[in-house]
């Protein structure tokens, strides 16, 4: 008689497409050993999860916020500041704990949710938590969640971790999560901009258009772009790599964006977007220190000379360093590493 597989909860964070893209990579690996139930915190996001990962059960947590209250600004330096003093928060916590008693789950995979990691550990459930890059030392909620997690996994190479990260010993660095390293494509003259900040896109276009270099822009928002008649523009693309034909790319520092662009051997000028714990800036600085990319803070885009100087600095990028980052992120390696975590902590 075939033994029934254990059940695992997989929480998919709703901030950014990268979280869902990573879940598409990782859920099938978990399903080699367990039946996966997907968990999300927003009803509107549940359809996206169901479409990206079809034929799986998707459960939506109730909101923890009082109706019409909105979410207050976060300082990320106070314990559980993301949980309001409200009955809705109690309902949400009870809903989650009822999930754990209704089904005998073997574990939770927590996509950067400190809240659920802490709840699950308190209920006696093993947790694999995604490491939220950047400096989390000032946020007691994240620090406690890291203590609560059975293990952490990071969707980037160890070389990009912040200095003196205190939880390195319990973190598995999966490297660049791409399905496979792409074949090197022919690079044409020009610049591609992969960024959702219209200020960044406009500033780079202002600096480069007078040089007659062709520009391609991939951005989710065109409403405030000034140069649509002078550039090739794409709003949504299923595969960034298929639309990046230039050897030089201005980009943000999201994990998935960096992974896809490094995998096709592009020279990157990284302009980080603001994120909690300065996670994008931390990765951009690490890449620059390794001579694997050029770091251009948003504060510098107002000067045409700084943008053109950043382009000139790409000559110092070391292809051998980029190759080493890709080697660490070979699919065979991160598949194996993640499966070890599942077997060790959930089976």
Flag whether the pTM goes above 0.85.
Answer: yes
pLDDT at 226 over 60: yes
Domain ranges across the chain = 7-177+329-346, 188-328
Average pLDDT over residues 56-63: 97
**Under 8 Å between Cβ of 153 and 174:** yes
Average pLDDT over residues 132-146: 94
Q: What pLDDT is recorded for position 127?
A: 98
Average pLDDT over residues 174-191: 71
Q: What pLDDT is recorded for position 331?
A: 76
Query: To the nearest whole percent, how much of the chain has pLDDT over 90?
Result: 71
Place of tokens 């200020």: 199
Say yes or no: domain 7-177+329-346 is CATH 3.40.50.300. no
H/E run at residue 250: strand 246-251
Strand partners, 10: 38, 109
Strand order from edge to edge, sheet including 215-218: 232-234, 215-218, 188-194, 246-251, 267-270, 294-295
DSSP 119-151: HHHHTT--EEEE---S--TT-HHHHHHHHHSSE
Average pLDDT over residues 115-144: 96
For residues 17 and 45, give the distance between their C-alpha atoms in angstroms, rounded to a whole number.
Answer: 11
Q: What pLDDT is recorded for position 344?
A: 97
Note the CATH architecture for domain 188-328. Answer: 3-Layer(aba) Sandwich (3.40)
pLDDT at 185 over 80: no
For residues 232 and 77, give the distance between their C-alpha atoms in angstroms, rounded to a whole number.
Answer: 42
Place of tokens 């008689």: 1
Q: What pLDDT is recorded for position 73?
A: 85
Q: What pLDDT is recorded for position 306?
A: 96
In terms of C-beta density within 10 A (0-12 exposed, 13-18 middle, 19 or more buried), how is residue 55 classed? Answer: exposed
In terms of C-beta density within 10 A (0-12 exposed, 13-18 middle, 19 or more buried), how is residue 273 classed? Answer: middle
pLDDT at 14 over 70: yes
Place of tokens 């890709």: 326
Determine the straight-line distance between the first and last CA of the chain, rounded to whole angstroms.
19
Taking only Cα atoms into account, the Rg of the chain, rounded to an integer number of angstroms, comes to: 21
Q: What pLDDT is recorded for position 238?
A: 74
């Amino acid at each position: 008689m075939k033994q029934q597989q254990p059940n695992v909860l997989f929480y998919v964070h709703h901030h950014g497409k990268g979280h869902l893209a990573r879940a598409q990579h990782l859920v099938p690996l978990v399903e080699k050993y367990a039946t996966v139930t997907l968990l999300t915190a927003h009803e509107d996001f549940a359809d996206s999860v169901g479409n990206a990962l079809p034929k799986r059960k998707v459960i939506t947590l109730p909101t923890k916020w009082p109706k019409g209250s909105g979410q207050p600004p976060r300082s990320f330096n106070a314990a559980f500041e993301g949980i309001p003093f409200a009955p809705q928060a109690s309902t949400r916590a009870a809903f989650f704990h009822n999930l754990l008693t209704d089904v005998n789950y073997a574990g939770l995979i927590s996509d950067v949710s400190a809240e659920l990691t802490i709840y699950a550990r308190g209920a006696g459930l093993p947790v694999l938590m995604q490491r939220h890059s950047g400096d989390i030392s000032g946020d007691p909620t994240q620090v406690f969640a890291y203590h609560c997690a059975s293990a952490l996994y990071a969707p980037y190479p160890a070389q990009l971790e912040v200095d003196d990260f205190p939880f390195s010993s319990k973190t598995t660095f999966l490297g660049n999560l791409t399905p496979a390293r792409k074949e090197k494509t022919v690079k044409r003259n020009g610049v591609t901009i992969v960024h959702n900040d219209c200020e960044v896109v406009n500033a780079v276009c202002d600096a480069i258009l007078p040089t007659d270099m062709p520009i391609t822009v991939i951005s989710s928002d065109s409403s405030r772009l000034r140069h649509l008649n002078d550039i090739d523009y794409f709003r949504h693309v299923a595969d960034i790599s298929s639309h990046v034909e230039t050897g030089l790319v201005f980009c943000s520092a999201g994990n998935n964006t960096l992974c896809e662009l490094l995998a096709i051997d592009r020279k990157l000028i990284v302009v980080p977007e603001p994120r909690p714990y300065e996670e994008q800036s931390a990765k951009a600085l690490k890449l620059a220190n390794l001579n694997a990319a050029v770091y251009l803070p948003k504060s510098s885009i107002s000067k045409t000379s700084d943008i053109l100087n950043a382009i000139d600095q790409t000559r110092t990028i070391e292809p051998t360093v980029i190759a080493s980052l890709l080697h660490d992120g070979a699919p065979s390696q991160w598949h194996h590493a993640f499966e070890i975590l599942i077997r060790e902590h959930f089976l």
